[in-house]
Structure 1
């Protein structure tokens, strides 16, 4: 199924040719049978002129060929029926779904770009916040080192102080986005997109690792400001 389904049934085994009316449809049906038989494509050809939406014609008048055998046979039928359209290219489910899939792909691209930009800003913010915290508390860190607190304990506490708010904020925002996307997919009748879920997981993982790296980048600064606590803690 397409990524965005607006409620019309899908018919991946159909190839249709638009016509101007019922009489034209009957003539085109005979031509379609001849062309498909010459191409060696097995299909059931029928005319559609009742304005229904249960074919890829979506309410238009024309000829529908139902082609078993999968996408390759459908493609062969599209090629074979090209002369029957009299300037109108045969219509398949891929053609009908193309506008929805284009919109969905563009929304996915914009969403991914926004997510990456958000993680970039969050990474820069985390690195600056961690460095500023070390500089603001250098006297406290110096006194703690002077009292015998190991550097790794100070660094662990500093990282935890910076990471926990980020986890709550980023995790909550991501969870809300996933929930909103799930509700939107349900409302649109779309199928679960496993590739999109994998892409989201990769972006979140990469963003989390980048923020941890930015926070860890201020570790040398902590070591420097506490290198001689007897002089810097007064």
Structure 2
């Protein structure tokens, strides 16, 4: 019965993704790391969106049937990209780009997004340290100052045989989001995948000590990513 239900949902999606969306159809994974992302992390992003004075722009890197429903979970302007052209069907019309995450800054330009979520890329397409470095550089480029990067990956030597955190801290600052179960910038999910989420913020330009703060400044730097949402 479960398989039949799944096949019917897939058939409806193939006929009309928008109709399937209106019927709230999804193909979500029930893994603990996905539940943490969809409930805890997205809940935090939605709280930020509710407090922000303007629209929050979110970029999700890598789309497929298992995260196709994410725009319905987030109260943000949702954009996505994937290197495979066939995955474009899972993106939002007018807000999806077919291209590589390691060159996305050339497409989006600088300071374009408030939040970037890159989950499950390392070890699944981006397999070497150089590729990870290029991914981080492009994420840093497209984020607004103070913007949030959520980087998720399986912290196993057979998937990611290099140290991600030192590489990331060459470009970003660590950030501990106010999520109940999170105690630091690197959060480990208790599952067989050894999945971790790394929370980072884009550094703000240095301000001369004698410079006056901008008139429209609302939050101090210590307020975290939300301080960068304008």
**TM-score, normalised with respect to structure 2:** 0.20
State the structure with more CA Rg.
1
**TM-score, normalised with respect to structure 1:** 0.19
Kindly indicate whether structure 1 or structure 2 has the higher relative contact order, using CA contacts under 8 Å at least 6 residues apart: 1
User: Hey, which of these two has a bigger chunk of helix by percent?
Assistant: 1
